[in-house]
Amino acid sequence: MSTVTARTGPSVSQSPVNLRGETPPADRYPRQSLVSGWDQDALRQASAIVAGAGALGNEVIKSLALMGIGHLTIVDFDTVAHSNLSRTILFREGDIGFPKAEIAAQRVRELNPEVSVRAIVGDIATDLGLGELARATMVFGCLDSIGARWAINRRCLEAGIGWINGGTNEWHGEVARYDATEGACYECTMTDQMFARMHGRFECGFRITGASDVPMASTSSLSSVIAGIQVSEALQVVMGTGAGASPGFDPHLRPGQRLTVQLRPYRMHVDDLPWSDMCLAHPAGPPEAPVRVDRPWEATTAMDVLEAARAIDPGVDCLAIGYELVTEIACDACGTRQDVLRRRTHTTLQAMTCPGCDAPFSFATNWFIHSGTPLALRPLREIGLPRHEWVRAYRSTSPDAPGILMELGGSDPLTN
């Protein structure tokens, strides 16, 4: 019979008493509070959205959790792979195969139970409503593809919120601040070659299966440098504005500026990114406040939204959903026909080929849902609209009018 000695680990419980029987001081953040101009309350009231829980995302999430950010939303559609473990402090071998966003959120709860954290296993471009982006204090782009950066830029500009982009490659990296109202945006900086690489993942608007960007050389040391600067920029946003702001927290980068960091040899420089007149991402006017549809998002249909919009304009009869929805596919050769409700950009070319005849399906798509159609009675959740998403109600007779901006799930809390 072997003797088992019970391991005394740190208590996760109730009692604020440490292993020596002492009551630790109530303040968790005494050292950072010594930083001149530091405002822990402002940080506690702030909410951050981190898009991407890879190498950069892990470092950003770790720092925000340790520092005591109030609310943290982690968005990533991917699962933990063995190849992530050399660059991701929050993941363990036992996490392989599980969603990165959920594992990262779980580790945040262990690192700092004071942080309210949630995971969204999905895509920042399609699975987080514009209302959520608009109400965040800061958005971090910790992404590894041009397409994902293009999408987060479009979404943040539409929601009227700035974002902080990070990127790394071998021994150099960059941090850039983008804003909806000032300076160049990410899309302004995109070259023809970058657009070609982004569009190379699609054919006729459908996704090419298995297409992905070439992986960049990456080390955890560079990721932590770049992520540290991203977080530092965010602290300027949180603490460097408002009446009581400390001069020490003046923003370092203005919107439309990029900091490039080189580790071999050491060099840092800031440049002003050029604004492009050709850029299609900039909003037409100042941010609008949407009308909130006061119904639970799960059950809200296009008819519910139109009825709410009719309190403002009784003539509205169609809803612009903001993307192209494939509604039907058919094979002209064998007569197969199927109803589908899927974004065109989420539909693979493979899914658009008849498995029986190997012939391409013909298909129907829609950008609008019209009052009185069967689609108008389906919950919008079923066609892929996320909670707190913004949609626009129109009169079909005047499609050039601005329409009425509506937010789904107006009565739902943000943290669900």
Which of the ranges 8-16, 299-307, 328-336, 393-401 carries the binding residues for Zn ion, by CB under 5 A? 328-336
Which of the ranges 26-34, 139-147, 273-281, 391-399 carries the binding residues for Zn ion, by CB under 5 A? 273-281
Least separation in angstroms between CB 25 and Zn ion: 48
Reported as type and span, the H/E element at residue 303 is helix 302-309
- The rounded distance, in Å, linking the Cα atoms of 258 and 164 is 10
Least separation in angstroms between CB 40 and Zn ion: 35
How many CB atoms are located within 10 Å of the residue 364 CB? 12
- The rounded distance, in Å, linking the Cα atoms of 328 and 338 is 6
Least separation in angstroms between CB 370 and Zn ion: 30
Outline where 112-145 has alpha helix (H): 130-135
Please tell me whether residue 352 binds Zn ion under the rule CB under 5 A. Answer: no
Cα distances (angstroms) measured from residue 105 to each of 77, 131, 223, 302: 13, 21, 19, 33
Please give the angle made by the CA atoms of 47, 53 and 57, to the nearest 5 degrees: 65
Nearer to Zn ion, 22 or 277 (CB): 277
Please tell me whether residue 357 binds Zn ion under the rule CB under 5 A. Answer: yes
Nearer to Zn ion, 81 or 333 (CB): 333
- The rounded distance, in Å, linking the Cα atoms of 413 and 265 is 49
Nearest partner of 250 among 233, 270, 267, judged by Cα:
233
Among 216, 312, 333, 377, binds Zn ion (CB under 5 A): 333
Q: 289 is written with which tokens?
A: 């406040």
- The rounded distance, in Å, linking the Cα atoms of 67 and 73 is 15
Reported as type and span, the H/E element at residue 228 is helix 220-239
Among 35, 66, 85, 279, binds Zn ion (CB under 5 A): 279
Please tell me whether residue 90 binds Zn ion under the rule CB under 5 A. Answer: no
Among 60, 164, 176, 185, binds Zn ion (CB under 5 A): 185
Please tell me whether residue 334 binds Zn ion under the rule CB under 5 A. Answer: yes
Beta strand ranges found along 300-353 (DSSP E):
318-330, 337-343
Contact letters for Zn ion, residues 105-144 (x by CB under 5 A): ----------------------------------------
Least separation in angstroms between CB 238 and Zn ion: 25
Reported as type and span, the H/E element at residue 127 is none
Which of the ranges 2-10, 12-20, 49-57, 278-286 carries the binding residues for Zn ion, by CB under 5 A? 278-286
**Residues in binding contact with Zn ion, number by CB under 5 A:** 12
Please tell me whether residue 354 binds Zn ion under the rule CB under 5 A. Answer: yes
Least separation in angstroms between CB 279 and Zn ion: 3
Contact 416, 408 (CB under 8 A): no
- On the CB side of 83, CA atoms within 13 Å amount to 5
User: For the CA atoms of the chain, what is the radius of gyration?
Assistant: 24
Please tell me whether residue 164 binds Zn ion under the rule CB under 5 A. Answer: no
Phi, psi values for residue 141, rounded to 5°: -100, 110
Contact 95, 85 (CB under 8 A): no
Binders of Zn ion among residues 304 to 323 (CB under 5 A) are none
User: How many angstroms from the chain centroid is the CA of residue 298?
Assistant: 21
Among 188, 273, 293, 302, binds Zn ion (CB under 5 A): 188
Among 108, 138, 139, 281, binds Zn ion (CB under 5 A): 281
Please tell me whether residue 331 binds Zn ion under the rule CB under 5 A. Answer: yes
Beta strand ranges found along 222-265 (DSSP E):
257-263
Please tell me whether residue 216 binds Zn ion under the rule CB under 5 A. Answer: no
Please tell me whether residue 356 binds Zn ion under the rule CB under 5 A. Answer: yes
Among 187, 389, 407, 412, binds Zn ion (CB under 5 A): 187
Least separation in angstroms between CB 160 and Zn ion: 14
Which of the ranges 73-81, 183-191, 202-210, 251-259 carries the binding residues for Zn ion, by CB under 5 A? 183-191
Contact 397, 316 (CB under 8 A): no
Please tell me whether residue 362 binds Zn ion under the rule CB under 5 A. Answer: no
Nearer to Zn ion, 12 or 278 (CB): 278
Which of the ranges 236-244, 255-263, 311-319, 335-343 carries the binding residues for Zn ion, by CB under 5 A? 335-343
Least separation in angstroms between CB 309 and Zn ion: 30
Reported as type and span, the H/E element at residue 377 is none
Nearer to Zn ion, 220 or 336 (CB): 336
**Locate tokens 């190379």: which residue?**
200
Least separation in angstroms between CB 182 and Zn ion: 11
Nearest partner of 293 among 121, 129, 123, 124, judged by Cα:
129
Residues contributing to the site for Zn ion (CB under 5 A): 185, 187-188, 279, 281, 331, 333-334, 336, 354, 356-357
